[in-house]
């Protein structure tokens, strides 16, 4: 009888097979082998990444920024290169099945994610009050890359299990195989094949590149502390300085929750007068309150 590990391997090399179904098999094996962190990684992929959770680097994508004008059609935004890169970088937190459905649909080949309305409003004010919808455009090949990455990770994980003598019989594993999984915990890893077998280490420095450190509460605090120092050093109007510092503290208290949007919007009211101070930090706040649905 074919074991569950070999089923995972066979499923992984079948490019027509659903990755969501593949990950369910990975979860079943991980549960039976008591590899709890691997279960957590699979659950995140199947159910979608929570907005306050660390996101794997392979789910951070970059597209192009376009305004959609009823008069001029679609126009790519230009400006400070660093800011454009940051604004065009997006986290995809949707369940893997949703991404597979988008790829299977084939149309449209270009997908779009709308920027937050508060950001669109401020950009419009900076451009003479013209307020048009702004979207990140990216191709469906980006989703194909994510899906293939997951397929490869599941395959490598199953191969590593086999190398440890863990195959199973049907959907069950022997006591000896469970013991091997426990003792192998320091040699292989479902994400990188380094570290523990049970540790879904699917994060790393790669998800920080050109995005700023805004993917965890700890690092959001670093961004906000940097902003606080910049306000203290560069805002000479004491009234504005104190009001902006108060909003920064409110952002810290509400980070990761829906309440983040109000102080964010209030702080944006100062952007027109203090663009050089607030501009570099805009992408970090955007990640916390962006409207992420596909359009």
**Residues 39-92 pLDDT 10s:** 888 999 999 988 778 888 899 988 888 878 777 777 887 777 777 888 888 888
The distance of Cα 263 from the centroid of its chain, to the nearest Å, equals 23
Domain assignment present for residue 103? The answer is yes
| Structure tokens that stand for 265 in this block | 């919007």
d(Cα 195, Cα 189) in Å, to the nearest integer?
5
Query: Which has more confidence, 41 or 219?
Result: 41
Domain assignment present for residue 243? The answer is yes
- Domain match, 205 and 226 both: no
Task: State how many domains the chain has.
Answer: 2
d(Cα 122, Cα 270) in Å, to the nearest integer?
10
- Span 107-140, pLDDT tens digits: 777 888 887 777 777 777 666 666 778 888 888 8
- Domain match, 176 and 225 both: no
What dihedral angle (degrees, nearest 10) is formed by the CA atoms of 111, 116, 121, 127? Answer: -50
Task: Give the angle subtended at the CA of 113 by the CAs of 268 and 67, to the nearest 5°.
Answer: 65
| Structure tokens that stand for 167 in this block | 């195959």
d(Cα 212, Cα 223) in Å, to the nearest integer?
8
- Domain match, 279 and 256 both: yes
d(Cα 143, Cα 170) in Å, to the nearest integer?
32
Domain assignment present for residue 262? The answer is yes
Domain assignment present for residue 295? The answer is no
- Domain match, 152 and 19 both: yes
| Structure tokens that stand for 282 in this block | 């805009």
DSSP letter at 172? B
- Domain match, 5 and 37 both: yes
> Could you tell me if 181 and 196 are in contact, meaning their C-beta atoms sit under 8 angstroms apart?
no
Q: How confident is the model at residue 244 (pLDDT cuts 50, 70, 90)?
A: confident
Out of 160, 187, 211, a domain closes at 211
- Domain match, 40 and 115 both: yes
- Domain match, 106 and 225 both: no
- Domain match, 20 and 152 both: yes
- Domain match, 217 and 191 both: no
Domain assignment present for residue 265? The answer is yes
DSSP letter at 116? P
Residue reference for tokens 């097979």: 17
> Could you tell me if 260 and 289 are in contact, meaning their C-beta atoms sit under 8 angstroms apart?
yes
Residue reference for tokens 């890893």: 189
- Span 13-42, pLDDT tens digits: 999 999 999 999 999 999 999 888 788 889
**Among the listed residues 140, 281, 145, 155, the one whose alpha carbon sits nearest the alpha carbon of residue 214:** 281
Cis before 108? omega within 30: yes
Three-class DSSP category at 88: coil
- Domain match, 244 and 285 both: yes
Max mean pLDDT range (36-40, 98-102, 192-196, 270-274)? 98-102
Domain span at 180: 1-211
DSSP H helices, the chain, are: 4-12, 19-32, 36-47, 81-87, 96-105, 117-126, 141-163, 175-183, 217-234, 238-254, 261-268, 275-278, 282-289
- Domain match, 223 and 250 both: yes
Least confident of 21-30, 174-183, 230-239, 265-274: 265-274
* Main-chain phi, psi angles of 137, to 5 degrees: -100, 135
- Domain match, 92 and 235 both: no
> Could you tell me if 36 and 201 are in contact, meaning their C-beta atoms sit under 8 angstroms apart?
no
pLDDT at 169 over 90: yes
Domain assignment present for residue 252? The answer is yes
Domain assignment present for residue 70? The answer is yes
| Structure tokens that stand for 278 in this block | 């607030």
Domain assignment present for residue 256? The answer is yes
pTM: 0.61
Out of 211, 242, 270, a domain closes at 211
Out of 142, 177, 211, a domain closes at 211
Q: What is the pLDDT of residue 38?
A: 86
- Is the Cα torsion angle 170, 171, 176, 177 positive or negative in sign? positive
Q: How confident is the model at residue 292 (pLDDT cuts 50, 70, 90)?
A: very low
């Amino acid at each position: 009888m074919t074991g569950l590990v070999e089923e995972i391997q066979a499923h992984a090399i079948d490019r027509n097979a659903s990755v969501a179904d593949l990950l369910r098999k990975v979860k079943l094996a991980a549960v039976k082998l008591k590899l709890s962190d691997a279960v957590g990684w699979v659950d995140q992929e199947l159910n979608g990444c929570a907005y306050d959770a660390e996101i794997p680097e392979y789910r951070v994508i970059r597209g192009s920024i376009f305004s959609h004008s009823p008069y001029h059609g679609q126009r790519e935004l230009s400006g400070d290169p660093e800011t454009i890169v940051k604004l065009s970088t997006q986290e995809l937190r949707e369940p893997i099945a949703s991404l597979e459905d988008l790829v299977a649909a084939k149309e449209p080949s270009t997908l779009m994610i709308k920027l937050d309305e508060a950001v669109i409003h401020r950009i419009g004010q900076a451009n003479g009050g013209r307020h048009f919808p702004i979207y990140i455009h990216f191709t469906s090949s980006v989703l194909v890359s994510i899906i293939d990455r997951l397929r490869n990770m599941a395959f490598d994980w199953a191969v590593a299990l086999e190398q440890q003598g863990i195959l199973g019989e049907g959907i069950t594993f022997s006591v000896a195989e469970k013991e091997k999984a426990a003792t192998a915990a320091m040699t292989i890893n479902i994400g990188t094949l380094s570290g523990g077998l049970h540790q879904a280490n699917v994060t790393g420095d790669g998800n920080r590149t050109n995005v700023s450190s805004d993917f965890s509460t700890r690092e959001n605090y670093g961004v906000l502390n940097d902003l606080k120092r910049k306000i203290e050093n560069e805002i000479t109007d004491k009234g504005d300085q104190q009001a902006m510092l108060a909003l920064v503290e409110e952002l810290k208290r509400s980070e990761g929750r829906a309440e983040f949007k109000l102080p964010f919007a209030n702080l944006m009211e100062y952007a027109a007068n203090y663009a050089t101070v607030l501009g570099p930090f805009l992408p970090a706040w955007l990640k916390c309150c962006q409207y992420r649905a596909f359009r």
